[in-house]
């Protein structure tokens, strides 16, 4: 048995002739190892680590991938899979580096990370590669960084689709793109969404549309509202594209100033967004399934690290179009 086990896992210490004999018998019998028995007997626990933005609230976006992650981890309890969670501050790239260093010290068997700050993320993944620790990107990706997989959407294409939808429902094409973000340059997928969005309109004749962009880096106090409102009036804005999950902020602005006839498209199923969608203030929400993405990211690591199965490098998540009529069938997360 010991010898057979050694050739099965290529652990050496087997003479060439017995190796061949065993391999022959394996293929002759079409032997398939029993994963259950294998993991039951081996008992060596795998340790995974996650590096994601700190969830800002119960209702915030980053709470959700974590739900999926924890769900899959709890299901894998009997496989001896453990998890350590590391969080960084979205507005502070240094915290990313600090936490990344902790992970390197921990030497986990696999990492799930959101490469939020590009430069810092590249540096981190270089180190992971050196340590031969496999990792999966979630939410946004860096191409060819050595990830075993990326779980998330194609941001450019999502923006392109958003362009089509807004175009379809806004007759007078004075459109405003709103980024609620600090350090736009580092937030690659917001940039890509805008690019896709503008490219949709680029096939129209110039002069038939009018697209402006505004960046809001601070929403703690209400002054941002005034500046956005000014732009809306000045440019006679009829459609707004919010590039991240903060569309509900625009809704509050619309309510406060009692603005009419503005069509609005935003992202992600935050509770407030859903409420405004149902009230008809938001017209479309483009969504990904963040719980499912968390779940899948861990699952990819599990299949790769524990089960040693081949996994697909990229399969982009679906870009879901939600309206008040179908949103109810997207809210639940259940893999059962």
Q: Is 171 in the site for DNA (CB under 7 A)?
A: no
Nearest approach in angstroms of CB 77 to DNA is 11
Q: Which residue among 29, 37, 207, 334 contacts DNA (CB under 7 A)?
A: 37
Q: Which residue among 23, 41, 106, 122 contacts DNA (CB under 7 A)?
A: 41
Burial 152-165 (b: 16+ CB within 10 A, else e): bbbbbebbbbbbeb
Q: Which residue among 20, 24, 25, 33 contacts DNA (CB under 7 A)?
A: 33
| 22 vs 178, beta carbon nearer DNA | 22
Instruction: Choose the contact partner of 316 out of DNA, its own copies, none; CB within 5 to 8 A by kind.
Output: its own copies
| 172 vs 326, beta carbon nearer its own copies | 326
Instruction: Choose the contact partner of 3 out of DNA, its own copies, none; CB within 5 to 8 A by kind.
Output: DNA
Binding site for its own copies (CB under 8 A): 32, 34-37, 39-40, 77-79, 153-154, 157-158, 160-161, 164, 168-169, 299-300, 303, 309, 311-312, 315-321, 323, 325-326, 328-330, 332, 334, 336
What are the distances in angstroms from CA 246 to CA 48, 145, 250? 31, 29, 8
Instruction: Choose the contact partner of 154 out of its own copies, DNA, none; CB within 5 to 8 A by kind.
Output: its own copies
Nearest approach in angstroms of CB 149 to DNA is 24
| 18 vs 314, beta carbon nearer DNA | 18
Alpha helices in 9-152, H assignment, sequence order: 16-29, 35-42, 63-75, 93-106, 118-130
Instruction: Choose the contact partner of 234 out of its own copies, DNA, none; CB within 5 to 8 A by kind.
Output: none
Q: Which residue among 40, 56, 106, 233 contacts DNA (CB under 7 A)?
A: 40
Backbone angles phi, psi at 169, to 5 degrees: -110, -5
Backbone angles phi, psi at 46, to 5 degrees: -95, 145
Nearest approach in angstroms of CB 252 to its own copies is 25
d(CA 242, CA 227): 15
Q: Which two tokens stand for residue 273?
A: 């967004």
| 36 vs 56, beta carbon nearer its own copies | 36
d(CA 195, CA 157): 9
Residues 103, 49: contact at Cβ < 8 Å? Answer: yes
| 19 vs 182, beta carbon nearer DNA | 19
Residues 73, 305: contact at Cβ < 8 Å? Answer: no
Nearest approach in angstroms of CB 16 to DNA is 7
Q: Is 12 in the site for DNA (CB under 7 A)?
A: yes
Instruction: Choose the contact partner of 18 out of DNA, its own copies, none; CB within 5 to 8 A by kind.
Output: DNA
Binning the chain into helix, strand and coil, the percentages to the nearest 5 are 45, 15, 35
What is the side-by-side strand order in the sheet with 320-322?
Answer: 210-216, 174-180, 239-242, 263-267, 284-287, 320-322
- CA within 13 Å, CB half, 173: 18
Q: Which of 320, 226, 306 is nearest to 268 (CA)?
A: 320
Nearest approach in angstroms of CB 314 to DNA is 29
Q: Which residue among 27, 30, 32, 221 contacts DNA (CB under 7 A)?
A: 32
d(CA 117, CA 98): 13
Nearest approach in angstroms of CB 78 to DNA is 8
């Amino acid at each position: 048995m010991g010898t057979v086990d050694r050739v099965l896992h290529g652990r050496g210490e087997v003479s060439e002739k017995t190796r061949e004999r065993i391999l022959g018998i394996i293929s002759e019998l079409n032997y398939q190892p029993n994963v259950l028995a294998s993991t039951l007997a081996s008992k060596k626990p795998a340790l995974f680590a996650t590096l994601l933005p700190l969830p800002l609230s119960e209702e915030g976006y980053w709470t959700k991938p974590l739900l999926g992650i924890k769900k899959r981890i709890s299901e894998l309890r009997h496989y001896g899979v453990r998890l350590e969670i590391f969080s960084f501050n979205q507005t502070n790239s240094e915290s990313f580096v600090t936490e990344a260093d902790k992970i390197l010290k921990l030497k986990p068997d696999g990492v799930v990370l959101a490469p939020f700050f590009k430069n810092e993320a590249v540096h981190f993944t270089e180190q992971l590669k050196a340590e031969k620790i496999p990792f999966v990107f979630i939410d946004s990706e860096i191409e060819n960084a050595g990830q075993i997989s990326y779980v998330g959407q194609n941001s450019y294409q999502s923006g392109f689709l958003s362009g089509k939808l807004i175009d379809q429902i806004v007759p007078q094409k004075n459109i405003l793109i709103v980024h609620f973000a600090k350090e736009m340059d580092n937030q690659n997928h917001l940039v890509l969404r805008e690019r896709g969005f503008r490219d949709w309109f680029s096939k129209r004749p110039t002069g038939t549309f009018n697209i402006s962009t505004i960046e809001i880096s601070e929403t703690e106090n209400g002054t941002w509202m005034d500046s956005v409102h000014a732009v809306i009036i000045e440019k006679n804005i009829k459609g707004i594209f919010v590039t991240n999950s903060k569309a509900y902020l625009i809704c509050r602005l619309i309510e406060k100033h009692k603005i009419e006839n503005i069509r609005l498209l935003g992202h992600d199923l935050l509770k407030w967004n859903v409420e405004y969608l149902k009230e008809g203030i938001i017209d479309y929400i483009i969504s990904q399934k963040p719980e499912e993405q968390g779940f899948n990211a861990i699952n990819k690591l599990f299949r790769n690290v524990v089960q040693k199965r081949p996994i697909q490098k990229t399969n982009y998540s679906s870009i879901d179009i939600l309206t008040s009529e179908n949103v109810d069938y997207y809210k639940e997360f259940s893999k059962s």
